[in-house]
Structure 1
Amino acid sequence: MTALSPGAAALPPGCLVSFYGDDYTGASAVMEVLGFAGVPTVLFLGLPTPEQIARFPHVRAIGIAGVARSQSPAWMEAHLPEVFARLATLKAPISHYKVCSTFDSAPHVGSIGKAVELAEPLLGGAWHPLVIGAPAIGRYQAFGNLFAMVGDVGYRLDRHPVMSRHPVTPMEEADVRLHLARQTDIPVGLVDFVALKNGAGDARLARERAAGARILAIDVLDEATLAQAGRLIWEHRGERLFAVGSQGLEYALVAYWREVGLLAPPGDCRPAGVRDRIAAVSGSCSPITARQIAFARDRGFEGIRLDATRAVEQVAWSGELERAASLALRALGEGRDPLVFTAAGPDDPAVAALHQAIEASGVPAVEVNARIGEGLGAVLDRLVRAGGLKRVVIAGGDTSGHAAMMLGIYAVTALAPLAPGAPLCRAHTEGAHDELEIAFKGGQMGAPDFFCAARTGGGTNH
């Protein structure tokens, strides 16, 4: 792993970037970008105490993982101001509200606009860069429209085979400005890639700000525009700057810092090594995760389906969790890696069955989804304790937050790369699981062999 360059004295001392991730998988992706670039980073899985922060005196970036992506604006009003106030105490020149790289959000759930409105008074800044594009993970933005790759095929987001059909926040608009305008009245402008390529980025930024825009979406198409985005953010940050975006924001900063010699070139990241046994849980409905589950089952993982419809009633749900945990423990005892999952892709009948069960029960969907995530976490906690496991995987952005809480983890640090956006992490706890290695995998992340790569400690990047 690289380190800050000897020439990095020009970088401010202390915390360079503070961030809040609106789901756990996304937050760990920010930690991955910074940590493996040589910027020591810690990610707290909840609001940290001053004493917990003090345990990591060497870090240059501090993050807080949350679950805002799956929450209502009312929940955000109740919970996010305290988070943003804690980030403000870190006095980082850049504070970042990390959103999914596919920008999935809506006025009623995971509202990025509402988050910006709540953060602005506490984290300040004369303008707010919005950077979603990140070539390293197949995300590109042109003239404000977001594109995402599936394998080697790129899709405009409103035609994306996954995100256009997302069960909670289907993306019907690819222009991030129009999508965000449905969530906030804060004016949104654009610095397009033509201006960046022509050396007119600064002028375009000034023009858009003069016209009243406070949120400025910045196109990213390639490494050159990525570095230019980083330059605009860093050189126009003022005393402090509140930014919004995917881990593309950190990729941009790193690219610029390297370009001007503030950060050493990347070094080699060593794999973590093989574990004899691991366990995984998944609440993801993504077809990418479905392919990964099928790949793992074909190679010896014990697939155990969890009937999520039972989560609408607590007693039935407790029995279902006990059934799944018993099967998973038996698999461990027989030398197989258990993989407990709720669905195999968006077309799995289990997805529609869950929606019908929630509607019939009258229990709020957000409550049921939290119960599912917590249940998967409880199963995983039992497997770790009873099986003496040292490495686990949680798949699903919304699932990861609730499940991780059940493991008693208060912070993680990057350990080794598995796939872009889904690193293997070292867990920090107050007790039993302090040596645990854990990976949080978003639905869109990872090659088909992801779960197998997690077992061997080093995956592919295709």
Structure 2
Amino acid sequence: MQDNELLLAFYGDDFTGSTDAMEALSRSGYRTVLFLEAPSADMLKRFEGIRCIGVAGTSRAKNPEDLGQEVKPVMEMLSQLPVGVIHYKTCSTFDSSPEFGSIGEAIRVTLPCFEKQETVPLLVGAPALGRYTVFGHHFARYDGEVYRLDRHPVMSRHPVTPMAESDLRLHLQKQLDVRMELVSVADLQGDAESAGRAYREKLQSKPGVILFDALDDATMRLTGQLIWESAGEGLRFVVGSSGVEYALTAHWSEAGIRKADEQASPAGAGIVPAERILAVSGSASPVSQRQVETAIEQGFAGIRIQPECLAEDGSLPEQLLKEAIGLLQEGRSVVLYTALGPEDPAIAATRRAIADRGIASSQAGEHIGRQLGRWTKHVMLEANLSRVVIAGGDTSGFVTSEMGIYGLEMALPISPGAPLCKVYSQDERMDGLELALKGGQFGSPDYFVKVRDAASG
């Protein structure tokens, strides 16, 4: 498997999560390009020295039927590539439910693409991001503290996929009725031989899913070895967070598996600070709230997007966009935002306005994202911007689909899970744009300021 041109291919269930996986690979030296749809062979040939590819999707925001229609053809295509591991990338807080973003449904529609595979390895923990799994229960860092998932201040109250169960096996069982096994931290405390023996003993009973605990760098490196070796034995389809990428790259580096060609031109070369940027936030998380507020305190002009604008049928809110363009042309950075935190009354008002338009609640996220995408592209072109930030995992996917982009590559790390990327587009006005996509839970309070000031050394 070491001689494969491609080591790994992944599908990400939202855009910010996809850039998170790309970052984990790229920072370890494995050049990765993220596409917005399954790439053709000709498209892959345009990039020299790539070792991994990704396809950014929006399945986390979809009901099971729509999710299956999006995921299945992409995973079928990826399964046919000469690549070691095929990864369905989930959020590191396992955001999902039977109704939205069902990880169980993703497994159900994908597994038939791998005819001889009966068990799916699952790794959700990512210690580098403050995500841990211990004896099957998942924990996540927030504001300097680590919380069990069902007691997490944000995830336990998520407006779409609230996490009421910390045992990932029980949570997933509500979406996929199969027997599950666990490779626990106790199994991973020994050397590779003893851990491998425990893993293969559990595989002998042919569980539908086998979950790996994740606690520290040592368990991640060992898990990466077990996943890589079992992929060579037929278990190529893997599910989980960017912990999969962190684990695999830790093993690849130790095993001396070749990284990107040294002669490949780095996407982050020659990047200078931006004089002004546009930030667009469709996230209602407390983390995004602090980022918007901090940006305004640091000199960004803040413009709240009114619910009735979001509910419109595609027309441009001329006054709002004119204000944003004018400020940018004056040299100010601008942040457009839909809400400030989960308690903002604008959230309920937006839902009412969208319902009044006859738009189903299941389509609200896509409707808002596409609105913001059209507006972002309009402002960017009118103000001649070279750098843009989009906040919100679901928002980012629909925004970028409206911007005429076909690929992204990490240019610079900004905050774990939320790098600055270089854009590839057939539209020369968009090609080379610097774009940062961040999920609701990622980034420091001054994230927008850091993106504006980012430069290569």
Aligned to 2:55, what secondary structure does the other structure show? strand
Show the counterpart of 2:297.
Answer: 298
Name the CA distance, whole Å, in 2 between partners of 1:312 and 1:395.
19
Compared CA separation, residues 393 and 86, structure 1 to 2 (3 A): same
**Residue 413 (str. 1) matches residue 412 (str. 2):** no
Show the counterpart of 2:240.
Answer: 245
Q: 2:177 corresponds to which letter in structure 1?
A: D
C-alpha contact 2:12 2:55 (8 A) present in aligned 1: yes
Name the CA distance, whole Å, in 1 between partners of 2:330 and 2:227.
54
Name the CA distance, whole Å, in 1 between partners of 2:56 and 2:275.
29
Name the CA distance, whole Å, in 2 between partners of 1:311 and 1:302.
20
C-alpha contact 1:18 1:94 (8 A) present in aligned 2: yes
Structure 2 unpaired stretches of 5+: none
**Residue 332 (str. 1) matches residue 331 (str. 2):** no
* Mapping of residues 268-417 of structure 1, within 5 Å: 272-314=271-313, 318=315, 321-417=317-413
Identity %: 42
Show the counterpart of 1:4.
Answer: none
Q: 1:258 corresponds to which letter in structure 2?
A: S
Name the CA distance, whole Å, in 2 between partners of 1:86 and 1:323.
44
Compared CA separation, residues 88 and 39, structure 1 to 2 (3 A): same
Show the counterpart of 2:10.
Answer: 19
For residue 340 of structure 1, report the CA deviation from its aligned partner: 0.7
Name the CA distance, whole Å, in 2 between partners of 1:422 and 1:141.
22
Show the counterpart of 2:143.
Answer: 151
Deviations 1:9-43, CA, capped at 9 Å, x for gaps: x7132111010000000011111111121111110
Show the counterpart of 2:424.
Answer: 428
For residue 167 of structure 1, report the CA deviation from its aligned partner: 0.8
Name the CA distance, whole Å, in 1 between partners of 2:388 and 2:114.
35
Deviations 1:234-293, CA, capped at 9 Å, x for gaps: 12221451000110000001111223333679x998894311111111100110010011
Name the CA distance, whole Å, in 1 between partners of 2:303 and 2:438.
18
Show the counterpart of 2:165.
Answer: 173
Show the counterpart of 1:257.
Answer: 252
Deviations 1:147-177, CA, capped at 9 Å, x for gaps: 0001320000111111111111011111110
Deviations 1:166-201, CA, capped at 9 Å, x for gaps: 111011111110000000123221100011003442
For residue 353 of structure 1, report the CA deviation from its aligned partner: 2.0
Show the counterpart of 1:101.
Answer: 92
**Residue 194 (str. 1) matches residue 190 (str. 2):** no
Which of 428, 434, 438 is 1:437 aligned to? Answer: 434
Name the CA distance, whole Å, in 2 between partners of 1:313 and 1:380.
16
Name the CA distance, whole Å, in 2 between partners of 1:233 and 1:48.
25
Name the CA distance, whole Å, in 2 between partners of 1:166 and 1:263.
41
For residue 365 of structure 1, report the CA deviation from its aligned partner: 1.7
For residue 394 of structure 1, report the CA deviation from its aligned partner: 0.6
C-alpha contact 2:277 2:333 (8 A) present in aligned 1: yes
Show the counterpart of 1:140.
Answer: 132
C-alpha contact 1:421 1:445 (8 A) present in aligned 2: yes
Deviations 1:109-133, CA, capped at 9 Å, x for gaps: 1000000011111145343211111
Aligned to 1:110, what secondary structure does the other structure show? coil
C-alpha contact 1:92 1:240 (8 A) present in aligned 2: no
C-alpha contact 1:324 1:379 (8 A) present in aligned 2: no
Name the CA distance, whole Å, in 2 between partners of 1:448 and 1:373.
23
**Residue 210 (str. 1) matches residue 200 (str. 2):** no
Q: 2:294 corresponds to which letter in structure 1?
A: F
Show the counterpart of 2:174.
Answer: 182
Q: 1:295 corresponds to which letter in structure 2?
A: T
Show the counterpart of 1:449.
Answer: 446
Q: 2:100 corresponds to which letter in structure 1?
A: V
Name the CA distance, whole Å, in 2 between partners of 1:132 and 1:281.
28
Structure 1 unpaired stretches of 5+: 1-9
**Residue 90 (str. 1) matches residue 88 (str. 2):** no
Q: 1:50 corresponds to which letter in structure 2?
A: A
CA RMSD, aligned part only? 2.1
Which of 114, 119, 131 is 2:105 aligned to? Answer: 114
Show the counterpart of 1:222.
Answer: 216
**Residue 233 (str. 1) matches residue 227 (str. 2):** yes
C-alpha contact 1:21 1:66 (8 A) present in aligned 2: yes
Compared CA separation, residues 136 and 263, structure 1 to 2 (3 A): farther
Deviations 1:34-91, CA, capped at 9 Å, x for gaps: 1121111110012333332221242111110000000011102222221111112222
C-alpha contact 1:93 1:239 (8 A) present in aligned 2: no
For residue 346 of structure 1, report the CA deviation from its aligned partner: 0.4
Aligned to 2:6, what secondary structure does the other structure show? coil
Which of 151, 156, 159 is 1:164 aligned to? Answer: 156
C-alpha contact 1:130 1:217 (8 A) present in aligned 2: yes
Name the CA distance, whole Å, in 2 between partners of 1:398 and 1:219.
27
Compared CA separation, residues 342 and 361, structure 1 to 2 (3 A): same
Q: 1:242 corresponds to which letter in structure 2?
A: F
Q: 2:407 corresponds to which letter in structure 1?
A: A
Give aligned pairs, total: 446
Name the CA distance, whole Å, in 2 between partners of 1:117 and 1:251.
25
Q: 2:322 corresponds to which letter in structure 1?
A: S
